[in-house]
Every structure is written in C-alpha cells, then in structure tokens.
Amino acid sequence: MNLTDPVADLLTRIRNAVHAHQAKVDVPASKLKLEIVRILRDEGYISDFKLETEDGQPPRLRVFLKYDASDQPVISDLQRVSKPGCRVYVGRKQIRPVLGGMGINILSTPRGVMTGREARQIGIGGELLCEVW
C-alpha cells in the first residue's frame, strides 16, 4: 500500500487506538516512524514499542499505548503540523513550547529527529513534524 503521508498515518493510527482504549497498535515500519515512536517512549507518552519482522512480510512496528491509574490515556491528542503539501520549517528561535510546556513538538533536523526542547538547546531548527500533548 502506497501512502502519501506515512507520518500522518502513524499519528492517526495511534490517535484512533487511544480513543478505542486499545493496548497496542501495529503500523508499517520506517526509519522516521521508528524515531518518532522512540521519542514518544522516551518522553513517557507510550509504554514501549517493538520492531517485528516476519519472513516474506514487510517490517511492522508494534506500539504499546500507555494509560494512567484511572484508565485515562496519557496521550490527549496528536497533531500533524508539516504536511506534504505545505511543509513547515522553523528556526531555533521559532520553536515554541506546546501547551505551555505540557506537550512536545517533534522536529526533523540535520542532526536527526528530536524534540523541540532538544533542538532549542542545541541551537538548530528543522521541519516541525508534529505536536503531542
């Protein structure tokens, strides 16, 4: 299946699984999706992920979602910012906190995929992929 925007597909699958209170969600794997999911795990928005490969099948990424003690999802929402038809690039001074620091933004920079906070500390900008809160 050929997707126009694989990052939006990843975010939509996670958003739909969270709203349906699923424990896990499977998505087709890519290097960019793997880095986005790694950041989500490191920031505490998902519990874990696993890259699964089977003979003759394309690799897939299994994302384990995280819920708090009262069974509320940790992820409130995920929004795609830069889209294939309208790319959004930000400089280091233009990176703004999400919800006053309660969320994160994920950027694709010349030094790899990282959070907006890390990019500000390093002093580089890049393509603003998505925001999570």
Question: Which pTM was predicted?
Answer: 0.94
pLDDT of residue 32: 97
CA Rg value for the chain? 15
Select the CATH number that applies to the domain covering 6-132 from these four: 3.40.50.300, 3.40.1190.20, 3.30.470.30, 3.30.1490.10: 3.30.1490.10
Q: What are 83's two structure tokens?
A: 């889209």
* Residue ranges per structural domain of the chain: 6-132
Residues with Cβ within 8 Å of 42's Cβ and at least 6 positions away in sequence, in order, are none
What are the tens digits of pLDDT across the range 49-96? 999 998 899 999 999 999 999 999 999 999 999 999 999 999 999 999
pLDDT of residue 102: 94
pLDDT band for position 3 (50/70/90)?
confident
